[in-house]
Amino acid sequence: MWRGLMALVLRRDLPQDSSLALIRRIFSDNFREFAVKYAIAFGFMALVAATTSLSAWIMRDVVNEIFVAKDFSKLLQVTVAILVIFAVKGIASYGQVVTLSKVGNAIVAKNQRKMFAHILRQDSAFFNRHGASDLITRISHNAQAVREVINIIVTSFGRDLLSLIGLVSVMVIQDPLLSLVSLIIAPPAIYGVAYLVKRVRRLAHAEVLSLARIVQVMQETAAGIRIVQSFGIEPQMQSAMNGAVSGVEQRANKMAELGARTSPLMETLGGCAFALVIMYSGWQTIVSGKTPGEFISFLTALLLAYEPAKRLSRLQVTIETGLIGGRMMYEILDSPPKIVDAQNALPLDIQAGELKLTSIEFSYIPEQKVLKDLSVICEGGKVTALVGPSGGGKSTVFSIVQRLYDLQGGAVCIDGQDIRHVTLRSLRQNMSLVSQDTVLFTGSVRENIGFGRAEASDEEIEQAARDALAHDFICELPNGYKTLIGESGHTLSGGQKQRLAIARALLKNAKLVLLDEATSALDNETEAKLQVAMRRLMSGRTTLVIAHRLSTIRHADKICFLRNGAIIEQGSHEELIAQEGAYAALVNLQFSKAEDAASKSSATQVEAAHFG
Contact 559, 571 (CB under 8 A): yes
> 104: pLDDT confidence band, cut at 50, 70 and 90?
confident
* Residue 423 predicted with pLDDT over 90: yes
Most confident of 139-153, 204-218, 284-298, 389-403: 389-403
3-state secondary structure of 82: helix
Lowest mean per-residue pLDDT among 370-384, 387-401, 428-442: 428-442
Q: Which residues lie below 8 Å from residue 380, measured CB to CB, with a gap of 6+? A: 351, 352, 353, 354, 355, 415, 542
Lowest mean per-residue pLDDT among 25-34, 163-172, 193-202: 193-202
CATH 3.40.50.1100: does it fit domain 438-509? no
Query: What is the DSSP code (8-state) at residue 107?
Result: H
Cα 483 from Cα 191, distance rounded (Å) = 62
Residue 574 burial (10 A CB sphere; 0-12, 13-18, 19+): exposed
Cα 318 from Cα 112, distance rounded (Å) = 22
Q: What is the mean pLDDT of residues 427-451?
A: 86
Note every long-range contact of 214-219, with CB atoms under 8 Å and residues 24 or more positions apart, other chains counting: 214/241, 214/244, 214/245, 214/248, 215/133, 215/136, 215/137, 216/131, 216/132, 216/133, 216/134, 216/244, 217/241, 217/244, 219/132, 219/133, 219/136
> 32: pLDDT confidence band, cut at 50, 70 and 90?
confident
Q: What is the pLDDT of residue 162?
A: 85
Lowest mean per-residue pLDDT among 105-114, 120-129, 263-272, 445-454: 263-272
Q: What is the pLDDT of residue 604?
A: 42
Q: What is the mean pLDDT of residues 312-330?
A: 78
What is the pTM assigned to this prediction? Answer: 0.72
* Residue 154 predicted with pLDDT over 80: yes
3-state secondary structure of 410: strand
Residue 404 burial (10 A CB sphere; 0-12, 13-18, 19+): middle
Cα 277 from Cα 294, distance rounded (Å) = 13
Which secondary-structure segment (H or E) carries 417?
Answer: strand 417-418
Where are the chain's structural domains? 2-333, 352-430+510-612, 438-509
Helical residues (DSSP H) of 261-314, grouped into ranges: 262-283, 292-313
**Domain 352-430+510-612: top CATH class:** alpha beta
Cα 275 from Cα 271, distance rounded (Å) = 6
pLDDT in tens, 531-575: 776 777 787 889 999 877 776 777 889 999 998 888 999 999 999
Q: Which amino acid is at 58?
A: I
Contact 423, 347 (CB under 8 A): yes
Most confident of 129-133, 192-196, 516-520, 606-610: 129-133
Q: What is the pLDDT of residue 386?
A: 92
Residue 353 burial (10 A CB sphere; 0-12, 13-18, 19+): buried
Residue 455 burial (10 A CB sphere; 0-12, 13-18, 19+): exposed
Cα 190 from Cα 443, distance rounded (Å) = 54
Q: What is the pLDDT of residue 512?
A: 92
* Residue 603 predicted with pLDDT over 50: no
Q: What is the pLDDT of residue 35?
A: 87
DSSP 362-395: EEEETTEEEEEEEEEEE-TTSEEEEE-STTSSHH
Query: What is the DSSP code (8-state) at residue 342?
Result: P
Lowest mean per-residue pLDDT among 23-37, 52-66, 353-367: 52-66
Q: Which CATH number fits domain 2-333: 1.20.1300.10, 3.90.280.10, 3.10.450.350, 1.20.1560.10?
A: 1.20.1560.10
Q: What is the pLDDT of residue 475?
A: 92
Task: Check if 352-430+510-612 and 438-509 are the same fold.
Answer: yes
